[in-house]
Amino acid sequence: MEIMKKKVEFFIEIRANKEKVWNTLWRDETFRQWSSIIDPGTYMVGDLKEDNEIQFISSENSYGITSIVEKVVPGEFLLLKHKSDTKESGKEKRDEQWTGSKESYTLTEKNGVTTLAVVFDVPLEFEEYFNENYPKALRKVKELSEDNI
């Protein structure tokens, strides 16, 4: 049975160049800080290179998502396709809430301000949760990116 999903979009303006924002998004130390607002203890396993498989895993409950990097333009764009929902730190499959969903990150810079746009498909049962918590996570990306400019 296919899970019903809805496309959600979030935007934030950050006073930093897009390379700094990109590094804040994907460098392990800062990734853990902002992504943990959405799912505590989340970390990423793998390299953001096209056609690579990467995993996003919560250290708190060992649940995660295995994704394929469909397209990456460092500093500008990332498109992920969620291949499978996992448990046991990515070793076993679980209910397919996110499987088949896509998630994109687009960074555009103008006059030293980067606009970060995040678009993804969310299972309907999580829509309210993400609408409440994703903006908080993006504010953390902003805070981390604007530090020490």
* Structure letter (DSSP) for residue 32: H
Residue type, 90: G
Task: Identify the structural domains of the chain with CATH numbers, from first to last.
Answer: 5-146 (3.30.530.20)
| Positions in the chain whose pLDDT score sits under 50 | 86, 89-90, 94
N-term to C-term CA, the chain: 48
* Structure letter (DSSP) for residue 24: H
For CA atoms 105, 108, 113, 119, give the dihedral sign. negative
What pLDDT score does 45 carry? 87
Q: What's CA 4's distance to the chain center, in Å?
A: 20
Task: Supply φ then ψ for residue 84, to 5 degrees.
Answer: -160, 150
Nearest to 5 by CA among 104, 68, 99, 135: 99
* Structure letter (DSSP) for residue 2: P
Distance CA 84, CA 144 (A): 30
What pLDDT score does 89 carry? 47
What pLDDT score does 132 carry? 95
Which 3 state secondary structure label does DSSP give 94? coil
Distance CA 82, CA 97 (A): 10
What pLDDT score does 141 carry? 98
What pLDDT score does 82 carry? 76
Cα separations in angstroms, 134 against 13, 126, 128, 137: 14, 11, 10, 5
